[in-house]
Amino acid sequence: MVSPFEVLEVDEDADDEAVERAYRERVKRAHPDQGGSIEEFQLVRRAYRELSERDGNGDAGDGTDPADVDLTEGDDAREPRSTRVEFLDYEAVVDYGWSLEDDELFRKAAHADLGPDAHGRLLVHADESLLEAAERSGFAWPFSCRGGACANCAVYLAEGELSQPTDHIMPDDLAERGFRLSCNGYPLTDELSVVFNVKQRPELDDLILPPGPFTRR
């Protein structure tokens, strides 16, 4: 059986920082949109989870941050962990006059009287894109092409990281500012905070596809 060190391509004495670096590099290559497969992607996430749950002596368990325990996967540490997402509808940001760059944005949202579709939490499983997870959870987030060729599904990433295939349409400057595509974005971190429905932002105007038969919103 291949060890998690072999999967992440790190030495067995690698420290946490080296493991984290290796994971971020490795999970990008394992991504299905980058030539990898769902199986490889899950294998890499599982290897990272195994290593991150070891304490300094290499024993599993004691060093785990309680906040990282996956309540959806039971006690089986071999299962890939789901990513917890806190989401916020951009329409609420506009209605309340908030700013995307506000560090207090999600705290403000938690104290506002927003409906469950506008602000809440969901889980993304290891083999799901962010959009797929939102839909499985019963939310109707915007989309059009579902293939990285428009910005109808765009989200703003306030915290965490979401992978993007190399052939996506999002310009580098917008990606650097935190804009991502939810239809083909797979979580690279265990926690995400995202503002969805940002396609109405003026900087995304040129990337939006006109409404089609399969377009939502």
Residue 198 lies near ligand FES (rule: CB under 6 A): no
Residue from 174, 183, 192, 195 binding ligand FES (CB under 6 A): 183
β-strand partners of 216 = 143
Minimum separation from the CB atom of position 120 to ligand FES (A): 21
Which is closer to ligand FES, CB of 15 or CB of 167?
167
What residue type is 137 in one-letter code?
A: S
Which is closer to ligand FES, CB of 44 or CB of 204?
204
Which is closer to ligand FES, CB of 45 or CB of 146?
146
Cβ-proximal residue to ligand FES, closest one: 183
CA distances from 178 to 105, 122, 165, 213 (A): 14, 20, 15, 29
Minimum separation from the CB atom of position 183 to ligand FES (A): 3
Distance, in Å, from the CA atom of 8 to the CA atom of 15, rounded to the nearest integer, reads 13
Q: Token digits for 191?
A: 């926690």
Size of the site for ligand FES (CB under 6 A): 11
At 188 the three-state DSSP class reads coil
Binding mask 137-156 for ligand FES (x = CB under 6 A): ------xxxx-xxx-xx---
Residue 100 lies near ligand FES (rule: CB under 6 A): no
Residue 185 lies near ligand FES (rule: CB under 6 A): no
Which is closer to ligand FES, CB of 71 or CB of 214?
214
The gap between the terminal CA atoms of the chain, to the nearest Å, is: 47
Minimum separation from the CB atom of position 202 to ligand FES (A): 18
Q: How many residues does the chain have?
A: 217
Evaluate the CA torsion angle 137, 138, 144, 146 in order and state its sign.
positive
What does the DSSP assignment read for 89-152? EHHHHHHHT--TT-TTHHHHHHHS---TTTEEEEEE-TT--HHHHHHHTT----BSSSSSSSST
Minimum separation from the CB atom of position 200 to ligand FES (A): 15
- Residue ranges in contact with ligand FES by CB under 6 A: 143-146, 148-150, 152-153, 181, 183
